[in-house]
Amino acid sequence: GQSLEQPSEVTAVEGAIVQINCTYQTSGFYGLSWYQQHDGGAPTFLSYNALDGLEETGRFSSFLSRSDSYGYLLLQELQMKDSASYFCAVSPAAGKLIFGQGTELSVKP
Amino acid sequence: NAGVMQNPRHLVRRRGQEARLRCSPMKGHSHVYWYRQLPEEGLKFMVYLQKENIIDESGMPKERFSAEFPKEGPSILRIQQVVRGDSAAYFCASSPPGGGTAFFGQGTRLTVV
């Protein structure tokens, strides 16, 4: 089967850096994605890693280590608007996404 | 280029009625996925469809739930004889031919009373 583990909640202050970890177990692996969701709205794609290493997109970076079945999302220069739920998701097969339970990020002034 | 369109945004049904949720993928996208999200939980994969084909329905309950993506028109997720436990947000996502990043719609909030 497939399973993902990520912290349920994280709190940080404006301007800080926060890292959200994700470990996974899956029978197949195409890649690890990260999505942001505000107040139960549409999940928004943030980043995708198919190969080991770091992917950087503006203030957001994502890292993958396939040998460790581990990845993380790094958010820099935190802003109040970054308060949201963040989901990691693995693709065990082409097109299919298995989501973690989500991490609730609270950014404080 | 309109995003993934879902309707209705909110749907209220009495127990035993049928619910029909619609999803129009982004222009040029031929892959559609349906996910269900309960409050305070992650999204659970239900089904993956291409035009006129169900590719993976491993997440669909065996009874009462069905999905289609016809040659013309939107994808439909159909829930027959709804029960209170079906109350959830149902999200549709689409991706281009060959796979790639999935983009989500705003979801349909189903409430069964």
Q: Are B111 and B11 in contact (CB under 8 A)?
A: yes
Cβ of B99 within 8 Å of Cβ of A97? The answer is no
Rounded Cα distance between A50 and B107, Å, is 27
Measure CB to CB from residue A41 to each of B44, B95, B106 and give the nearest one: B106
Q: Is the pLDDT of residue B97 over 80?
A: no
Instruction: Give me chain B's average pLDDT, please.
Output: 92
What is the structure's pLDDT at B99? 64
Give the residue from chain B lying closest to A93, CA to CA: B56
Q: Residues with Cβ < 8 Å from B25, sequence gap 6 or more?
A: B4, B31, B32, B75, B92, B94
Q: How many CB atoms lie within 10 A of CB B48?
A: 26
* Residue B15, pLDDT score: 98
CA distance B69 to B74: 6
Residue of chain B with shortest Cα separation from A33: B101
Nearest to B104 among A42, A100, A101 (CB): A42
Asked if the Cβ–Cβ distance from A43 to B43 is below 8 Å, we say yes
Q: What is the pLDDT of residues A5-56, one digit of tens each?
A: 999 999 999 999 999 999 999 888 889 999 999 988 999 999 999 999 999 9
pLDDT digits (tens, 9 = 90+) for A63-74: 999 999 999 999
- How far, in Å, CA of B43 to CA of B30, rounded? 21
Question: Residue B21 and residue B75: Cα distance in Å, rounded?
Answer: 8
**pLDDT, tens digit, for every residue of B44-64?**
999 999 989 999 999 999 999
A100 touches chain B (CB under 8 A): yes
The single residue listed with the structure tokens 């109040």 is A80
Amino acid identity of residue A10, one-letter, is V
Where does the pLDDT of residue B32 fall: very low under 50, low under 70, confident under 90, or very high at 90 and above?
Answer: very high
Distance CA A83, CA A105 (A): 5
Chain A closest CA to B4's CA: distance in Å? Answer: 10
Is residue B105 less than 8 Å (CB to CB) from chain A? Answer: yes
